[in-house]
């Protein structure tokens, strides 16, 4: 690493920290119904949505009604995406005359974009039409991100309200998330990306003649608008097959900087929104600090591993599979950012990372994508860990645990544990089945521990709603399209629904005043305990699997052995 690369890390994390209270404060006003500078322009659009959809914005919902609304919207989104892919050959905006997809790929992709995973078992520019990308994937990128924010808002209300059953109105939360937050930010980022050279048109593939005299067809299309929301909404699905390693998707160092910043911007800012909405900004900053410390630890370990000598290749910081325009450090930084958030976009191939760097990226996902995490879902996942932390602290001192004045009881912990452990169970069961079935093993491109890492990463990415991959695995098969699709559903709804149940239980309780025996959750001690609980749960759950994959591969590499 050189000084310029260190400076870049400082600048991007410093910019993220500075923007957190700015955007976080704005979102707090939006979600509490206060007027902002955008209300004069966008309030008529919000009111129009309510009128067209017959939504009573003053009517509130209990947790069952809120959950039903969220699930119904997602089910409708899945059905639309599924049939859209099957019929795209007969629909407009298809200059390359692409045919419909197979049923199992349509199922996997519809689940993927509906759950904010954006796992892609296909090459975007040669499989999906412009209409499918825009009307299907683009729209769902907004709605899946808004879903995460809406569930977070319901969870926050569960912590702040008392003696009621109401968690807000899901339709209002979804509408405001899209209109006031996602649309304006995506518009700004789209314009910046177009200015940097990201393609945005409706042209068909452009034929060009290479220096070797061979005709090559350069893909075109409405890429910039899709890329903006894929990063801001922590969706991650690439318009092109190479994702953000493609020069038309990520052409300059500044576009690279903007996209990395966008990946973490909303998840980081929501911690400040949380602090304002619970009436204790310090609470939000403590969550932010915990996330930032874990991000820095993962980044430092990944950079050390990638810049360490590789005896097999006879060099350090090998460029194979990396982003050659921006360097190894930018490749590692993107890999850590995209797996710390449930984003999944890449500007280098994760399978080409050193074994430990790839293992760290995988472990980021396995932790539950709570290191900033996805838009909304990262923070409510972190709050589930916060509830578990105060419960364990209460056991140690023999007191009934409390979080923000709400008593944490047996039912709360039972559902919290389901939300925390369900994705891990899916990862281990899915990977375990895949390593013994010939139909699954036939998709591997590498034997040995790296092959295990390919399978383990795939199920981690699916159940963690991340979407990135060790690309050596051929996942476009009926087996992987179905099993990974099921893992995505578990990873999304087996966390989301327990979170809403916990919120529905907490909102009915009174808020107790702090006493001398109350464990404070706005101190450095709480931050350390929270990080410790996350690391211990992740380590105990996944260390055996990781030791057979990236860890043993690392030691084989040090011995100069290949496989």
pLDDT digits (tens, 9 = 90+) for 360-390: 999 999 998 899 999 999 999 999 999 999 9
Does residue 121 carry a pLDDT above 90? no
Using pLDDT thresholds of 50, 70 and 90, give the confidence band for residue 563. Answer: low
In this prediction, residue 316 has a pLDDT band, given cuts at 50, 70 and 90, of: confident
> Which residues span the domain enclosing 485?
18-206+219-558
Q: What does each C-alpha distance from 123 to 78, 340, 341, 460, 486 come to in angstroms?
A: 20, 24, 23, 21, 21
> What would the two tokens of residue 464 be?
């963690």
DSSP for 241-287, please give it: TTGGGSTTTS-SHHHHHHHHHHHHHHHHHHHHHHHHHTT-HHHHHHH
Cα-based angle 346, 86, 99 (whole degrees, multiple of 5)? 80
Question: What is the average pLDDT across 542-559?
Answer: 91
pTM over 0.85: yes
Lowest-confidence segment of 107-111, 222-226, 314-318 by average pLDDT: 314-318
- Find tokens 């105060």 and name the residue: 390
pLDDT at 561 over 80: no
Q: Which of 18-27, 404-413, 512-521 has the lowest mean pLDDT?
A: 512-521
Q: Average pLDDT for residues 96-124, to the nearest whole number?
A: 92
Domain count, the chain: 1
Task: Say yes or no to pLDDT of 477 above 70.
Answer: yes
Residue 314 has pLDDT above 90, yes or no: no
159: enclosing H helix or E strand: helix 139-160
- Tell me the pLDDT band of 192, cut-offs 50, 70 and 90: very high
| d(C-alpha 73, C-alpha 507), whole Å | 24
Give me 509's structure tokens. 């309780």
Residue 393 lies in a domain: yes
Whole-angstrom distance, CA of residue 466 vs CA of residue 460: 8
261 domain-assigned: yes
Q: Can you give the pLDDT at residue 425?
A: 95
Which contacts of 283-290 are long-range, i.e. CB under 8 A and separated by 24 or more positions? 283/404, 283/521, 283/522, 284/24, 286/521, 286/522, 286/523, 286/526, 286/527, 287/379, 287/382, 287/383, 287/386, 288/20, 289/527, 290/382, 290/527, 290/530, 290/531
Q: What's the whole-number average pLDDT of the chain? A: 93
């Amino acid at each position: 690493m050189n000084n310029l690369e260190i400076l870049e890390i400082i600048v991007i994390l410093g910019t993220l920290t500075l923007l957190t209270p700015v955007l976080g404060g704005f979102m707090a006003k939006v979600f509490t119904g206060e007027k902002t500078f955008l209300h004069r322009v966008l309030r008529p659009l919000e009111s129009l949505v309510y009128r067209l959809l017959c939504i009573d914005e003053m009517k509130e919902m209990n947790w069952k009604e809120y959950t039903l609304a969220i699930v119904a919207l997602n089910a409708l989104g899945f059905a639309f995406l599924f049939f859209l892919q099957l019929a795209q050959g007969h629909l407009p905006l298809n200059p390359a005359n692409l045919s419909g997809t197979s049923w199992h790929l349509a199922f996997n992709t519809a689940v993927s974009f509906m759950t904010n995973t954006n796992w892609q078992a296909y090459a975007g520019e040669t499989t999906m039409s412009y209409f499918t990308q825009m009307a299907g994937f683009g729209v769902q990128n907004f709605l899946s991100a808004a879903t995460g924010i809406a569930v977070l808002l319901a969870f926050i209300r569960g912590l702040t309200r008392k003696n009621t059953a109401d968690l807000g109105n899901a339709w209002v939360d979804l509408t405001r998330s899209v209109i006031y937050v996602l649309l304006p930010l995506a518009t700004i980022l789209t314009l910046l990306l177009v200015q940097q050279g990201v393609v945005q048109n409706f042209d068909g593939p452009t034929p060009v003649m290479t220096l070797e005299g061979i005709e090559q067809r350069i893909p075109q299309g409405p890429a910039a608008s899709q890329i903006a929301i894929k990063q801001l909404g922590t969706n991650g699905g690439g318009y092109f097959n190479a994702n953000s390693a493609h020069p038309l998707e990520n052409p300059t160092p500044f576009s690279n900087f903007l996209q990395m910043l966008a990946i973490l911007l909303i998840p980081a800012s929501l911690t400040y929104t949380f602090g304002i909405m619970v009436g204790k900004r310090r609470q939000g900053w403590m969550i932010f600090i915990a996330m930032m410390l874990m991000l820095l630890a993962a980044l430092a370990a990944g950079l050390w591993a990638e810049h360490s000598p590789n005896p097999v290749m006879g060099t350090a910081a090998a460029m194979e599979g990396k982003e050659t325009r921006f360097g190894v450090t930018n490749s590692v930084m993107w890999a850590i950012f995209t797996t710390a958030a449930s984003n999944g976009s890449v500007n280098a191939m994760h399978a080409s990372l050193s074994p430990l760097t790839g293992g760290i990226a995988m472990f980021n996902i396995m932790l539950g994508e709570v290191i900033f995490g996805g838009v909304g879902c990262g923070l409510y996942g972190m709050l589930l860990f916060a509830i578990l932390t105060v419960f364990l602290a209460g056991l140690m001192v023999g007191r009934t645990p409390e979080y923000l004045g709400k008593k944490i009881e047996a039912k709360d912990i039972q559902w919290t544990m389901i939300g925390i452990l369900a994705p891990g169970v899916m990862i281990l069961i899915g990977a375990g089945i895949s390593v013994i079935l010939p139909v699954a093993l036939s998709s591997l491109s590498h034997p040995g521990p790296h092959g295990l890492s390919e399978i383990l990463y795939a199920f981690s990415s699916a159940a963690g709603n991340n979407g990135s991959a060790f690309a050596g695995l051929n996942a476009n098969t009926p087996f992987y399209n179905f099993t990974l699709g099921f893992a995505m559903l578990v990873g999304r709804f087996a966390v989301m629904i327990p979170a809403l149940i916990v919120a529905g239980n907490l909102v009915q309780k009174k808020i107790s005043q702090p006493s001398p025996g109350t464990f404070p959750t706005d101190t450095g001690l709480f931050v350390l305990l929270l990080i410790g609980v996350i690391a211990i749960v992740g380590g105990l759950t996944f260390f055996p699997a990781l030791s057979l994959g990236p860890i043993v591969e690392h030691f084989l590499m040090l011995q100069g052995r290949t496989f």
